[in-house]
Amino acid sequence: MEAGKYINPFTEEEERLMIMRDLKNVVDTAEEKGINKGIEIGKKEGIDIGKKESTIEIAKKMKTKGFDINSIINLTGLSKEDIEQL
């Protein structure tokens, strides 16, 4: 054997299968990361929507109890336009 020559102990089929397995692992890992990121974004969006809906419900109650618009704005952070549409 010549110095520096590498003898591959695997057949072409074995190499192909190892490469395919490695690629599948990369794809599976990327897919899992993508799914987890999507879940994280979905949870955050759901929380944000829930907070907004809760704030609107509080503003509606305040409006029916006779609170003035400026007080509702200061306490809820909603805009004057949002409150007027309730």
pLDDT digits (tens, 9 = 90+) for 24-60: 989 999 999 999 999 999 999 999 999 999 999 999 9
Residue 3 confidence (pLDDT) above 70:
no
**Counted domains in the chain:** 1
7 falls within a domain: no
pLDDT at residue 4, rounded to an integer:
67
Could you tell me which of 73, 75, 74 has the C-alpha nearest to residue 84?
Answer: 73
For 14-23, b/e burial (b = at least 16 CB within 10 A) is eeeeeeeeee
* Residue 26 within any structural domain of the chain: yes
Q: Is the pLDDT of residue 77 over 70?
A: yes
In a domain, 5, yes or no: no
In this predicted structure, what is the pLDDT of residue 56? Answer: 95
Which domain, by its residues, includes 38? 12-84
